[in-house]
Amino acid sequence: MKYTNDRRDFIKKMSLSGLGLVLADGFSAVHAHTPEQAVADPRKLILPHNQGPSVPFVPRRTASWWVTIEDLQWSQKKVVDRIKRRAAAFAEAKIDMAIHYGWHIRFDFSNYFGQLHGYMANVCDELHKYDIKFMDHYSCNHVERPRGQEEFRKLHRGQRHHVLLFHDPKAAEFAQYEGHFFKDICEVDIRDGSRGYARQYQMETFCHNNPGFLDMHARYLERLFKEVPLDGIEVDDMCDYSGLTTCGCKYCRDRFKKDYGHEIPKFGEKEFWGDVSKPMLQWGNYENPAFRDWLRMKTDVIVDHVKMVKGIAGDKPLMSCCSSTGPMVLNGISLDLEKMAPYLDFFMLENVGTNIKSVDWIKMDAEALNQKDIADKRGNAPAMALSYTIYEKGGYLGWALSRFWGVANWSSTHNQRLEEDPADAMEMEDVIRPSNLWEVKHNDLKPRDGKDLVEIRVVNNKFCKDNGWRGADGLEHWDHAKAWSKKLVENSIGYRFVRYEELADAAALKKENTPLVLDGVGCVSEQQFKAIQSYLAAGGKAWMSLPFGTHDEKGFKRANPLSDQLVKTKYKNLQLVDPITKSDVLEKMVAEGRLKPVLRQVAGEKGWVARVRSYKGKPVIHLMNTALTGIPHPTIKDNAGISILADIGSKIQNNALQFKINTAQLKLSGLKVMSPELGDEQRKVSVRKAEKGYAVLDFDLNNVKVYAEILG
């Protein structure tokens, strides 16, 4: 099996094949050393953080600031001159925040922190002349340790973007920082006592719960902030890529016993581990409360680590990377953005992909809106979407998606993900300059001011994921949420997610009168149920598909599902419906008049979809093409053998469109169509009256393939 080496594909491929989280075949286990004495209680490093997000600035047009191994030669003249030229080019491209990318596996560079920090301080000085912010971005809890020659070669084929400068096996025995030997602070694999290893990335993993590691990271952060005038920081990989069998160190065993009252069982015990002949991300007996507690403990320690980082960062914005928040497989790598959200200030979706499959974007909408809601509930914290590309068209697609989703854009070339840089590789600022310049000139929207038109609310309850709930059909709750997202996008119906905290807040539920979709919500807490009852008793609308409330928030099965009580009470506006995964419930509810879309396409070829958003009272209709085609580069492929995206086409031939709008809910006048693909051209939108309360918009999107917007 070939690998694309992106984070989301990593999760998917492990789930399907089982690769990535096992000891490399043919290589001997690398045994973990006896842990050193605790330096300090790591929880004492955690500072209280109960205020809103730190938002001293709000980025809108972000781009990666790539570094190479040559930049370690700072302060040589050519390195310094290159910093100056690039800073000026970023300013010309209207980039307002640069994010470091390259020296990623940070403790691989522990012998060179002086050069790294000197370089980044120089970058800050130059960028600040143009009022451009600079954010560092690194992975703190790994070191590159390929096991054997094949792993070594694989690392150099697929992970060049990490700027590979790792210790060889002999030097690794003595590698350390601030007195902490790396080999002593690694996770311990429960199977055989070896050090935790993520084969997909050829990395050994530090234990988030090891006080030696936490002390080392804290000391590094303090030094970093002292030596570099950073504006913010992204600490990446706040998860556990070694998977479910780490960590078995004394600290994790003690904490599992202390916090949850369990011992970690011997590997292979089916009552706990489930069927270990399957891929690792399918391991685990979710019927066993001890296994569910094991998953909770693993995310507990990561959240404590995030708290520690925020305590040191202080008022500087903290962000962490997250390519997914919805699916259950995330339990296998302990990735839980919702749980760490109270300690983050900025939020980002890693919209990975540089190949021709990237044009199939609709499947990403659910993730985008789920993470956007996480940011919104964190005090309207800034949210951004990171999109990778090789060429300018991919950069434009990423910009368009950010615009459609209503978040800031983080554009990043990813030439180093290929085995070698293309001969015609583009500079980052050149990739995103056309989109940014058009935005600034024609419609410089502020994403945080945007308010989506919401016609329906879809519940995505984290408790279902946490407890491994699946219906009798084998589908998880997220499958239902994604299916609703896809249908709603295809029909240009505005939606948002209601997540677990809001679902427990009756007052919040009652603030809106839009239908609340309860589809495949197996795990429901008593507090959530009371809020739903209160909402329904007040006349709130809800569409419920069974099963509902079969388990509580800890995953324990109820004697009777909560749906029995709801049905028995006969709430006026509670509608029982089929699951969206089995029938087109949405079409039926629209046909019955239970949902009256504000905007619907009535003529023209299908494929364009709309999302309405108001910016301080000014509505904008964002239009995105769901029928894109990826035009492949003739020769360049990614590591999975898939052609790189060179250009973008459209399956739509007739772009003369008509949309009917509800004029009572959407008031528009003096309308025009604009798009970066039209340059300075602005096309008039014809508005004619239809039946009472409705009007029809006629407009032409010929010569527009990806994105456009309608505004007054």
Confidence tier at 323 by pLDDT (50, 70, 90): confident
What is residue 15's predicted lDDT score, i.e. its pLDDT?
A: 46
Q: Is the pLDDT of residue 12 over 60?
A: no
Confidence tier at 322 by pLDDT (50, 70, 90): confident
What is residue 22's predicted lDDT score, i.e. its pLDDT?
A: 33
- Overall average pLDDT of the 294-309 stretch: 98
Cα torsion angle, 363, 678, 65, 306, sign: negative
Q: List the CATH number of the domain containing 643.
A: 2.60.40
Residue 75 forms part of a structural domain: no
Cα torsion angle, 70, 73, 77, 81, sign: positive
Q: Is omega for the bond preceding 247 within 30 degrees of 0, making it cis?
A: yes
Report DSSP letters for 385-437, one per residue.
EEEEESSHHHHHHHHHHHHHHTSEEEEEE-GGGSSS--TTPPPHHHHHHHHHH
Q: Is the pLDDT of residue 628 over 80?
A: yes
610 plus 563 within the same structural domain: no
What is residue 416's predicted lDDT score, i.e. its pLDDT?
A: 86
Q: How far apart are CA 188 and CA 213, in angstroms?
A: 13
- Overall average pLDDT of the 639-644 stretch: 93
User: Which percentage of the chain shows pLDDT scores above 70?
Assistant: 93
Q: How far apart are CA 693 and CA 710, in angstroms?
A: 20
Give tens-digit pLDDT for 43-79. Answer: 333 334 458 999 999 999 999 999 999 999 999 999 9
What is residue 18's predicted lDDT score, i.e. its pLDDT?
A: 40
Residue 101 forms part of a structural domain: no
What is residue 9's predicted lDDT score, i.e. its pLDDT?
A: 59
Which DSSP category does 188 fall into? B
Q: Is the pLDDT of residue 669 over 90?
A: no
Give 13 or 422, the one with higher predicted confidence: 422
Rg from Cα positions in the chain: 26
- Note the pTM of the prediction, 2 decimals: 0.93
Confidence tier at 309 by pLDDT (50, 70, 90): very high
- Overall average pLDDT of the 253-260 stretch: 98
Q: Is the pLDDT of residue 552 over 80?
A: yes
502 plus 543 within the same structural domain: yes
Give tens-digit pLDDT for 265-292. Answer: 999 999 999 999 999 989 999 999 999 9
Confidence tier at 188 by pLDDT (50, 70, 90): very high
β-pairing, 516-519 with 542-545?
A: parallel
- Overall average pLDDT of the 459-472 stretch: 98
Confidence tier at 151 by pLDDT (50, 70, 90): very high
678 plus 568 within the same structural domain: no
Name the range with the highest mean pLDDT among 7-21, 24-38, 447-461: 447-461
Residue 525 forms part of a structural domain: yes
Nearest CA-CA partner of 542 in 481, 458, 478: 458
Domain end (from 567, 591, 615): 591
603 plus 496 within the same structural domain: no
What is residue 568's predicted lDDT score, i.e. its pLDDT?
A: 98
Nearest CA-CA partner of 483 in 612, 662, 362: 362
Residue 505 forms part of a structural domain: yes
- Overall average pLDDT of the 349-376 stretch: 94
543 plus 470 within the same structural domain: yes
**Residue 607, number of CB atoms within 10 A of its CB:** 20
Confidence tier at 667 by pLDDT (50, 70, 90): confident
Domain end (from 591, 626, 645): 591
The domain total for the chain is: 2
Q: How far apart are CA 460 and CA 324, in angstroms?
A: 13
Residue 16 forms part of a structural domain: no
Q: How far apart are CA 254 and CA 252, in angstroms?
A: 5
What is residue 78's predicted lDDT score, i.e. its pLDDT?
A: 98
Report DSSP letters for 121-147, one per residue.
HHHHHHHHTTT-EEEEEEE-SEEE---
What is residue 668's predicted lDDT score, i.e. its pLDDT?
A: 83
Q: List the CATH number of the domain containing 575.
A: 3.40.50.880
- Overall average pLDDT of the 204-217 stretch: 98
Over the chain, what is the mean pLDDT?
93
663 plus 583 within the same structural domain: no
CA atoms within 13 A on the CB side of 608: 30
Residue 703 forms part of a structural domain: yes
**576, 546 Cβ separation under 8 angstroms:** yes
Q: How far apart are CA 294 and CA 280, in angstroms?
A: 15
Q: How far apart are CA 547 and CA 574, in angstroms?
A: 15
585 plus 614 within the same structural domain: no
Residue 483 forms part of a structural domain: yes
Q: How far apart are CA 627 and CA 609, in angstroms?
A: 10
605 plus 691 within the same structural domain: yes
What is residue 582's predicted lDDT score, i.e. its pLDDT?
A: 96
Q: For the ranges 2-11, 315-324, 495-504, 549-558, which has the lowest average pLDDT? A: 2-11
586 plus 475 within the same structural domain: yes
Give tens-digit pLDDT for 407-443. Answer: 999 999 998 888 899 999 999 999 999 999 999 999 9
Domain coverage including residue 493:
456-591
585 plus 668 within the same structural domain: no
461 plus 569 within the same structural domain: yes
**584, 519 Cβ separation under 8 angstroms:** no
Confidence tier at 84 by pLDDT (50, 70, 90): very high
467 plus 581 within the same structural domain: yes
Residue 650 forms part of a structural domain: yes
Domain end (from 591, 607, 633): 591
Give tens-digit pLDDT for 129-138. Answer: 999 999 999 9
